[in-house]
């Protein structure tokens, strides 16, 4: 990936996120190769973890992905309106009054509460169509789902509704990417026991699915009929404890440009709260990106960036729209130089994990928090193919 957006991009602020579509395709093909006949559902919730749900889903659909997962109806409708034709599974909870939206947009809906199931049945019956549902079983996350002890009976009931297709049965791991897999193994046992009991009673559900990235890597016995993969498609392993069979390519890079350079003297301070005190003459670069863009304030004085392929450390606290970097050791820096906050520059990389470690967070949060003020610049074959600038409310195809 080159350092610069070559032609004048359709945005003015010199801070943006680059998304490497080739990397996403390469990650998809590697993950898929390890799955055999198991289906893959691409998790593109939360704007594809910040990379841009519409652009990512469109690209994945071109790569042959047929099912996408989101967690709100608005996310699902956004994809439909953008022309996504594949199946869209809303994994989030909705109220019975929203049943019609599921049918209007031919969505698949996660269900576990009877009022919603009844509302979907009534809405589907009124239109003389079938609503597609995925029955959620809580095997230990205590978030959504029928508790596993009651799941067989609930699945039997839900499968009797004439206008509902129980297309899937799903559960979720709270800890598939840790070293200790004992709880995950218990969950697999619970889920498979429910499947066996239902089969014995003649209740066939076509798609049993429970795996996220961590489980795809480490728990092949849980792949079942389908897996739901997010983070790995974007080029990151979910933790340092999982197997690493793939050469995942980081797909996101957050870039800004030096907007001011100043030399400060011993005793001078930098930024709000005067958190950096110069003990000698220092060179400070000002970057036009701050905590309102998703760059965490806890990175003060410890965050790192890449300039000219070399590391530099944040100086002082972050502002809402700017931050400071100590560049005393990089004498050739000039205004306008590209600075990588997350991603690769030359041989160096600052991964979402690196940032997460410093702010006591996880890579998921680091990725998903990059804000809408950062235009998304999509590259394919080294060329910019699309730019999304939400502030200008437009999409420009270059
Ligand atoms: C229910 C569910 N399934 C699958 C995933 C995908 O997880 P990952 O990004 O680790 O692949 C998520 C993400 O958190 C999720 O909430």
Q: What's 125's domain CATH number?
A: 3.20.20.10
In this structure, is residue 245 part of a structural domain?
no
In this structure, is residue 141 part of a structural domain?
yes
- Work out the widest C-alpha separation in the chain, in whole angstroms: 79
- With the most atoms of ligand 1 within 8 angstroms of its CB, the residue from 72, 144, 177, 212 to mutate is 212
Domain total for the chain?
A: 2
In this structure, is residue 9 part of a structural domain?
no
pLDDT per residue as tens digits for the range 212-271: 999 999 999 999 999 999 999 999 999 999 999 999 999 999 999 999 999 999 999 999
Q: Are residues 272 and 224 in the same domain?
A: no
Indicate if 49 belongs to the active site. no
Q: What angle do CA 49, 53, 55 make, to 5 degrees?
A: 125
What lies within 8 Å, CB to CB, of 62 at 6+ separation is: none
Q: Are residues 276 and 308 in the same domain?
A: yes
Distance from Cα 230 to the centre of ligand 1, integer Å? 6
Q: Are residues 95 and 182 in the same domain?
A: yes
In this structure, is residue 14 part of a structural domain?
no
Please give the model's pTM, rounded to 2 decimal places.
Answer: 0.95
What lies within 8 Å, CB to CB, of 334 at 6+ separation is: 258, 261
Distance from Cα 226 to the centre of ligand 1, integer Å? 13
User: Do residues 208 and 171 lie in contact, with contact meaning Cβ atoms separated by under 8 Å?
Assistant: no
In this structure, is residue 218 part of a structural domain?
yes
User: Do residues 167 and 199 lie in contact, with contact meaning Cβ atoms separated by under 8 Å?
Assistant: no
12 pLDDT tier (thresholds 50, 70, 90) = confident
What Å distances lie between residue 50 and 38, 76, 253, 356, 380, CA to CA?
27, 16, 11, 15, 18
What CATH number does the domain containing 366 carry?
2.40.37.10
List 344's β-bridge partners, or say none. Answer: 349
Q: Are residues 66 and 208 in the same domain?
A: yes
Indicate if 378 belongs to the active site. no
Distance from Cα 387 to the centre of ligand 1, integer Å? 26
Q: What are phi and psi of 166, to 5 degrees?
A: -80, 90
Q: Are residues 269 and 297 in the same domain?
A: yes
Q: Are residues 328 and 286 in the same domain?
A: yes
Domain that holds residue 78: 21-234
CA separation for the pair 161, 94 (Å, rounded): 19
pLDDT per residue as tens digits for the range 338-395: 999 999 999 999 999 999 999 999 999 999 999 999 999 999 999 999 999 989 865 5
CB-based burial label for 8 (10 Å; 0-12, 13-18, 19+)? exposed
Tell which of 234, 263, 290 closes a domain: 234
Q: Are residues 178 and 230 in the same domain?
A: yes
């Amino acid at each position: 990936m080159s350092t610069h957006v070559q032609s004048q991009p359709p945005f003015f602020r010199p801070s943006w996120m680059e998304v490497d579509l080739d990397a996403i395709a390469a990650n998809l093909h590697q993950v898929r190769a390890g799955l055999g006949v198991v289906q893959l559902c691409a998790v593109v919730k939360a704007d594809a973890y910040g990379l841009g749900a519409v652009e990512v889903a469109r690209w994945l659909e071109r790569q042959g992905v047929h099912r996408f997962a989101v967690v709100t109806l608005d996310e699902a409708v956004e994809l439909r309106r953008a022309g996504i034709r594949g199946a869209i599974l809303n994994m989030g909870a909705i109220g019975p009054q929203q049943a019609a939206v599921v049918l209007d947009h031919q969505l698949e809906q996660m269900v576990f509460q009877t009022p919603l199931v009844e509302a979907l049945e009534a809405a589907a019956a009124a239109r003389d169509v079938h609503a597609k549902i995925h029955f959620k079983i809580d095997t230990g996350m205590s978030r959504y789902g029928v508790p596993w002890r009651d799941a067989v009976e609930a699945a039997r009931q839900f499968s009797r509704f004439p206008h509902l297709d129980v297309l899937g049965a799903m559960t979720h791991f709270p800890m598939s990417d840790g070293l200790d897999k004992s709880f995950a193994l218990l969950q697999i046992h619970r889920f498979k026991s429910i499947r066996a009991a239902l089969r014995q009673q003649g209740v066939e559900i076509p798609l049993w699915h429970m795996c996220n990235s961590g489980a795809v890597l480490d728990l092949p016995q849980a792949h079942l009929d389908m897996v739901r993969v997010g983070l790995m498609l974007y080029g990151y392993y979910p933790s340092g404890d999982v197997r690493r069979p793939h050469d995942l390519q980081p797909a996101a890079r957050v870039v800004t440009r030096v907007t001011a350079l100043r030399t400060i003297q011993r005793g001078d301070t930098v930024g709000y709260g005067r958190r950096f005190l110069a003990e000698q003459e220092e060179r400070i670069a000002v970057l036009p990106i701050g905590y309102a863009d998703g760059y965490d304030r806890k990175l003060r004085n410890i965050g790192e960036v890449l300039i000219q392929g070399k590391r530099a450390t944040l100086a002082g606290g972050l502002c809402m729209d700017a931050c400071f970097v100590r560049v005393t050791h990089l004498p050739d820096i000039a205004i306008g130089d590209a600075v990588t906050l997350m991603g690769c520059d030359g041989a160096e990389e600052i991964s979402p994990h690196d940032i997460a470690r410093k702010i006591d967070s996880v890579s998921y949060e680091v990725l998903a928090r990059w804000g809408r003020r950062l235009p998304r610049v999509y590259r394919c074959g080294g060329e910019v193919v699309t730019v999304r600038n939400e502030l200008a409310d437009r999409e420009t195809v270059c």
